[in-house]
A and B are shown apart, each in its own frame.
Chain A
Amino acid sequence: MDLLSFTSTVVGIFISFCMYTTLYGKGNPLRSWAEFSYIACGTTMSVMMAYTYIKKTAIMPLITPPFTIEALAWIVAIILGLMMWFRVHPTYSYISRVPIAFTVGIGMGYSIRTVIFTGFLKQISGTIVKLWTAEGGWSYLITRLTIVVCVITMLSFFLYTTEIKGPHVWSATVGEYAMYIAFGVVFAQTFMGRLGLFVGYMQQCMYPVWKQPYTLGSAILVFLILLILDKTGWAERLSAT
């Protein structure tokens, strides 16, 4: 491993633990340093990737043979993109509304016509299926019945234009409890996901094995610095956020 890779890995591990100090619940300079470094790096990376994308997609077809008529469409796109820069000028910022309107219009047009299917019709048709299949058996029947009952009862919970009385009360109550179960599932999945991010990153910090002393060392060092800063009152005084 070359010196640059080694240094960036070790600094990366240390700065990660600095970022984790946010869990301590008090502002401190380690967290501020890590946070600002991340924002700076993330912004730079986004700008560079956007520049590369524009260069590869719009500029290179215009300057690289064979030239095509279709490529001329990119000139319009580039002009619209340049118009966006007027946003930073207080007097002429209104010019940027044209490309914004163009982008919003196209985005809405593309997504709305398809979201109707993916977010609505397909989801409904996914619910209306056979309750019994020979290969699925009883477990399939129970799963499908659960979906049917939950969909109907939950929908009945959200009927606001009628007074809730009679069987509707029971249906809405069952729907309400079904939602509590669903929220529990989502919470558990969220915890699993967040834990997955943490475990995955810690694994990245622990393997190959040569990283382990640096990871454990960084954890202990950051914790000690944080304790000292907190006890001396310097933590919040030196914090930028």
Chain B
Amino acid sequence: MGEEGFNLLKKMATYDKRWVYLVLFILVLAPLVRPIGMPIAVSELTRNYYNQIMKLKEGDIVLDSWDMEYSGYMELKPGVLASHKLFIQKGVKLAITLNHPEGIAIVPVVLEELKPIMEEYDYKEGEDYIILGYVFPNEASVVAAASDFHAAIKYDWKGRSIEGTFLDRIHDGGDFALISDYTTGVMSGAIIRHFVLRFGVPMIQNCIGVSVPGALANLDARLLTAVLASSRGGAELEYLIKQPGPGLMMMDAFTLGHYMLIIFIVIGNIGYFGWARKAKVRERTAV
């Protein structure tokens, strides 16, 4: 009996880690195939983010910084889509910058998702939004755009001149009403340093989970005006604006994944204290 108990604890301490991956795969795929619809609550952070967008007036120009790779977009997708739905509904003008070469692959995916609402509000490229393309490859390019926007950026992503568009109202970084940043941390630091610090332009940020603690420190330091935390924040924003999207669907898988992690942490700790730690003592004392 004692030997069996001993073996169970050993199993808990030394099980093959590939079981974790397999269970995670199943727990993620199952709720995506058949969503459960677990409840979520809207945090104060997300309400603040929403309020900052709602402060914008029709015709305001927003620097829309897509500071992410394609993989990062997978996590930020709910926030990107929900925020842009709000921008379109408010009639805000968007100057979209892609800060990573992979950003070019994100554009068609996002435009496809936003197509219905763009058609509903007659939101058109060139008139309401301009995709500037990959214009912030390094810090110098961010400084140049902040100092003299039209000297640094003359063409959109398809090589069309931006003269004669709503961007004529932008001379330097201070002319933007807001900076909306979706970031995995590519160029957002430089944007904070040269747009926010220099001109005091309010900046809101939807960041990946890893960057949330850092973003909250910047929020405290008033370098950021609002933070939307990862997919979770995006899901809350979808819930808040009553437009369910990918975020709310992801939350089931998120919740199950987090429960799974907690269970594996508990199993690992029981295994550690029940077997691995004693094994070390046995080894040390040669018993």
Q: Are A206 and B32 in contact (CB under 8 A)?
A: yes
- Residues in A whose Cβ lies below 8 Å from that of B25: 219
Chain-A contact segment, one of B2-10, B59-67, B151-159, B268-276: B151-159
- Residues in B whose Cβ lies below 8 Å from that of A23: 18, 21
Q: Are A126 and B74 in contact (CB under 8 A)?
A: no
Chain-A contact segment, one of B114-122, B174-182, B248-256: B248-256
A-contact bits for B4-22, CB 8 A (1 contact / 0 none): 0000000000000110010
Q: Tell whether A161 is near chain B: CB-to-CB under 8 Å.
A: no
Q: Tell whether A234 is near chain B: CB-to-CB under 8 Å.
A: no
Q: Are B152 and A57 in contact (CB under 8 A)?
A: yes
Q: Inter-chain contact count A-B, CB under 8 Å?
A: 167
Q: Tell whether A195 is near chain B: CB-to-CB under 8 Å.
A: yes
Chain-A contact segment, one of B47-55, B86-94, B188-196, B278-286: B188-196
B-contact bits for A216-235, CB 8 A (1 contact / 0 none): 10010000000000000000
Q: Tell whether A98 is near chain B: CB-to-CB under 8 Å.
A: no
Q: Are A193 and B74 in contact (CB under 8 A)?
A: no
Give complex CA distance A213, B203 in Å: 42
Q: Are A123 and B139 in contact (CB under 8 A)?
A: no
Q: Are A107 and B220 in contact (CB under 8 A)?
A: no
Q: Are A199 and B134 in contact (CB under 8 A)?
A: no
Chain-A contact segment, one of B123-131, B164-172, B204-212, B236-244: B204-212
Q: Are A200 and B231 in contact (CB under 8 A)?
A: yes
Q: Tell whether B33 is near chain A: CB-to-CB under 8 Å.
A: yes
Q: Are A201 and B74 in contact (CB under 8 A)?
A: yes
Q: Are A196 and B231 in contact (CB under 8 A)?
A: yes
Q: Are A52 and B28 in contact (CB under 8 A)?
A: no
A50, A111, A115, A200: residue with the most chain B Cβ atoms closer than 10 Å: A200
Q: Tell whether B277 is near chain A: CB-to-CB under 8 Å.
A: no
Chain-B contact segment, one of A84-92, A152-160, A184-192: A184-192
Q: Are A114 and B193 in contact (CB under 8 A)?
A: yes
Q: Are A202 and B155 in contact (CB under 8 A)?
A: no
- Residues in B whose Cβ lies below 8 Å from that of A147: 220
A49, A70, A206, A219: residue with the most chain B Cβ atoms closer than 10 Å: A49
Q: Are B104 and A195 in contact (CB under 8 A)?
A: no
B-contact bits for A20-53, CB 8 A (1 contact / 0 none): 0001110000000000000000100110111011
Q: Tell whether B222 is near chain A: CB-to-CB under 8 Å.
A: yes
Given A24-B18, A107-B139, A203-B250, also A196-B221 (CB < 8 A): no
Give complex CA distance A86, B191 in Å: 32
A70: min CB distance to chain B, Å: 6
Q: Are B250 and A192 in contact (CB under 8 A)?
A: no
Q: Are B139 and A212 in contact (CB under 8 A)?
A: no
Q: Tell whether A180 is near chain B: CB-to-CB under 8 Å.
A: no
B85: min CB distance to chain A, Å: 18
Q: Tell whether A110 is near chain B: CB-to-CB under 8 Å.
A: yes
A41: min CB distance to chain B, Å: 10
Q: Are A199 and B159 in contact (CB under 8 A)?
A: no
- Residues in B whose Cβ lies below 8 Å from that of A204: 74, 77
Q: Are B32 and A203 in contact (CB under 8 A)?
A: yes
Give complex CA distance A60, B192 in Å: 29
Q: Are B18 and A192 in contact (CB under 8 A)?
A: no
A126, A195, A219: residue with the most chain B Cβ atoms closer than 10 Å: A195
Candidates B155, B198, B218, B230; contact of A192 at CB < 8 Å: B230
Candidates B151, B222, B257; contact of A122 at CB < 8 Å: B222
- Residues in A whose Cβ lies below 8 Å from that of B230: 189, 192-193, 196
Candidates B21, B29, B153, B213; contact of A189 at CB < 8 Å: B213
B-contact bits for A165-205, CB 8 A (1 contact / 0 none): 00000000000000000100110011111111111111110
Candidates A46, A48, A193; contact of B209 at CB < 8 Å: A193
Give complex CA distance A17, B138 in Å: 33
A185: min CB distance to chain B, Å: 6
B29, B254, B258: residue with the most chain A Cβ atoms closer than 10 Å: B29
Give complex CA distance A186, B211 in Å: 9
- Residues in A whose Cβ lies below 8 Å from that of B155: 56, 60
Given contacts A53-B134, A122-B223, A194-B210, 6 further A-B contacts (CB under 8 A): A25-B18, A57-B135, A57-B153, A107-B139, A192-B254, A204-B74
